[in-house]
Amino acid sequence: MKAQRVEVFVCPSATPADTSGLQALADAGKIKPDTLVALVGKTEGTGAHDDWGRVWADVALREWTGKFLGVPADEVAKHVIFVLSGGCPGVITPHIAAVTREWIEVPDLGSDKRLVVGRAGSDPMPPEEVGRMGQIRKVATATQAAMDDAGLSDPKDVHLVMVKVPGLTTASIKDAESRGKTVVSHDLTFGPEGAGVYANDAAALGVAMALGEVPEALLSDAVVRRNWDLYSEVAMTSSGGEKRHGEVVVFGNSNASRSNLRIGHAVTRDFIDADGVRNALRSAGLHFTDGLPDEKDLASRLVHVFAKSVIPGSDQIRGQRITLLDDADAYQIGKALGGMLVASVTGRTTNYVSGGERNSHQGPPGGNIVAAVVRTEA
């Protein structure tokens, strides 16, 4: 029978267009044209919808990957999923994580569950679908396809679903309206009524629908960013104006895997909950000493952490007022704070942390999702 062997390689980036880390992996034979399945990264820049750092990174990585695969740059998306999240405020090191997958012949299922990965692209999402049921359904379908690709059938084995969907731009709004369509918002920011967060949140509800976390019957255009009781505990979503399709990567654990990696996840109970971050490391199998992650394990076994940093919708944390919701820079600061929460636990800055939205269907109200990939013990 077939089993997966998945690896995750984290390459810090010196500039948005830096492909030297990937090239070194390619030169060393660690990534191959037929094993590379996803590039997941944080790119430096404003993090806004017109973040040229992210756009340039996307162009440069797509060009490099095209050459690596031997296909035109505009066909790369058929082979490798890109999830580039813009903005590295604070203590988030710009980096690209390359995810590879080999299929190997094995005599039987493994004795324990190990990391598997699956990916899928969605149908195109026109601007009028952004932040609405059209986007939700297409993400749900793609999530199901990615689970199938990963060989995962039980949602409990799914620990992380990364999704990148189209947002809106001035041009795409104009396009929609010229065709007599409305759009969910004319606000192109990631502010509380911005198109960016509607896109992210529709994507999260799409994942929740696919995993059965939210029944389809409860979903409608009207619940997006209104009914916060509906959410996914494993969806991390982002959006970019230049995209036309959604892209989904599912990470889970399966007996049909010979990976040396395992993934786990947890949810923080509020915005300052370092324990939630520690629980994600625990869930993935990291050892703890005296209530804190073992230093040796952090150095040798922790491969990567993926976290959201959504700003709570309330102005209260544990009963005290904060002013973050009122802050003109809340989007940047909210993302930066998540980076600090994670880095203060992992002891490193190369963590994938996206966020800055105010409230989200990614995780429960006030809490955030954290997933960790850990190397299994020899």
Active site residues: 164, 238
We find the least distance from the C-beta atom of residue 349 to its own copies, in angstroms, to be 5
In the bound state with its own copies, the residue whose beta carbon lies nearer, of 153 and 316, is 316
Decide the pairing of beta strands 36-43 and 81-86.
parallel
Q: What pairs with residue 83 in β-bridges?
A: 40
Among residue numbers 117 through 176, which ones bind its own copies (CB under 8 A)?
Answer: 170
We find the least distance from the C-beta atom of residue 348 to its own copies, in angstroms, to be 6
Contacts of 104 (CB under 8 A, 6+ apart): 2, 3, 4, 5, 258
In the bound state with its own copies, the residue whose beta carbon lies nearer, of 111 and 323, is 323
Question: Cα–Cα distance between 245 and 263 in angstroms, integer?
Answer: 27
Interface mask toward its own copies for 339-358; x: CB under 8 A: xxx-xxx-xxxx-------x
Q: Which of 112, 148, 327, 377 binds its own copies (CB under 8 A)?
A: 327
We find the least distance from the C-beta atom of residue 46 to its own copies, in angstroms, to be 6
**What counts of helices (H) and strands (E) characterise the chain?**
8, 16
User: Does residue number 180 form part of the binding site for its own copies (CB under 8 A)?
Assistant: no
Interface mask toward its own copies for 191-220; x: CB under 8 A: xxxx--------------------------
User: Does residue number 300 form part of the binding site for its own copies (CB under 8 A)?
Assistant: no
Total chain residues near its own copies (CB under 8 A): 73
User: Does residue number 297 form part of the binding site for its own copies (CB under 8 A)?
Assistant: no
User: Does residue number 45 form part of the binding site for its own copies (CB under 8 A)?
Assistant: yes
We find the least distance from the C-beta atom of residue 132 to its own copies, in angstroms, to be 15
Stretch that binds its own copies, among 32-40, 76-84, 144-152, 283-291 (CB under 8 A): 283-291
Stretch that binds its own copies, among 45-53, 102-110, 125-133, 153-161 (CB under 8 A): 45-53
The residue with tokens 């806004």 is 48
Q: Which of 337, 370, 371, 374 binds its own copies (CB under 8 A)?
A: 337
In the bound state with its own copies, the residue whose beta carbon lies nearer, of 188 and 234, is 188
Q: How far is CA 265 from CA 6, 140, 256, in A?
A: 18, 20, 20
Cβ distance 370 to 305 under 8 Å? yes
Spell out where the chain has E strands: 2-12, 36-43, 81-86, 95-105, 114-124, 158-166, 235-240, 245-254, 261-267, 288-289, 292-293, 302-311, 316-317, 320-321, 352-358, 369-375
Q: How far is CA 23 from CA 15, 67, 92, 342, 350, in A?
A: 15, 11, 22, 28, 19
Decide the pairing of beta strands 158-166 and 235-240.
parallel
We find the least distance from the C-beta atom of residue 220 to its own copies, in angstroms, to be 16
Question: Cα–Cα distance between 304 and 276 in angstroms, integer?
Answer: 16
Q: Which of 12, 121, 126, 134 binds its own copies (CB under 8 A)?
A: 12
Among residue numbers 51 through 110, which ones bind its own copies (CB under 8 A)?
Answer: 51-53, 55-56, 59, 88-94
In the bound state with its own copies, the residue whose beta carbon lies nearer, of 71 and 333, is 333
User: Does residue number 20 form part of the binding site for its own copies (CB under 8 A)?
Assistant: no
Which pair of structure tokens corresponds to residue 49? 């919808």
We find the least distance from the C-beta atom of residue 98 to its own copies, in angstroms, to be 17
In the bound state with its own copies, the residue whose beta carbon lies nearer, of 5 and 49, is 49
Question: Cα–Cα distance between 57 and 43 in angstroms, integer?
Answer: 7
Cβ distance 334 to 343 under 8 Å? no
The identity of residue 217, as a single letter, is A
Question: Cα–Cα distance between 283 and 277 in angstroms, integer?
Answer: 10
Q: Which of 32, 78, 179, 321 binds its own copies (CB under 8 A)?
A: 321
Q: Which of 65, 141, 144, 185 binds its own copies (CB under 8 A)?
A: 185
